[in-house]
Amino acid sequence: QCAKLLGIPYYSISVNEQTSKSDFLGYKDANGQLVETNFRKAYQNGGVFIIDEIDAGNPNILTVVNSALSNETCPFPDGMVERHPDFVCVCTANTFGEGESLQYIGRNILDAATRDRFASLYVDYSEILEKMLIPSFRNLLLELRAHFKKNNILHVVSTRSGIRLETL
């Protein structure tokens, strides 16, 4: 929605331990043909690029992102590419980049170099959105969240859970 408001394309990647630098930078195939990525398209031509679940990604691969964000150019398989002024990189995570918890297993600690390149913003569940999407079960979700918090029960009561209830 932000990309749409800005009038620029939107791209994304969900990362995990197997995500490689070629998932960001692309590669040349056996015939020498360049295989481009959405990261390249956004970086070179402008666009919002979302790195979803950044804390689940391989920390070593994030150095590729760090370099691209800190410099005006980025090395791709076919040479240096200039960063477009309308390139915007946004990351999402379920943690604060401090590693796994009992709720989010397998999450990595984001190093200071990566964390320094982004402003952090905590986004909680949207009351307005939940009122629209979950009219029948919104109050139940609020009660469950309060109960779990009060009793230190580690369980996520998400908007997604409420939508599932609403569609039963």
Q: Residue 38: its pLDDT value, please?
A: 98
**CB proximity list for 19: less than 8 A, separation 6 or greater:** 13, 57, 58, 61
Q: Return the residue matching tokens 């915007």.
A: 88
At residue 155, the pLDDT reads 86
pLDDT at res. 118: 87
Q: What distance in Å separates the CA atoms of residue 98 and residue 114, rounded to the nearest whole number?
A: 12
Q: Percent of the chain, pLDDT > 90?
A: 61
- Residues of the chain scoring pLDDT < 70: none
Query: Would you state the pLDDT for residue 102?
Result: 73
Q: What is the pLDDT of residue 47?
A: 97
Predicted pLDDT at 28: 96
Tell me the C-alpha distance between 107 and 110, whole Å.
9
Look at residue 122 in the predicted model and tell me its pLDDT: 86
How many Å apart are CA 79 and CA 74, to the nearest integer? 8
pLDDT, residue 6, reads 87
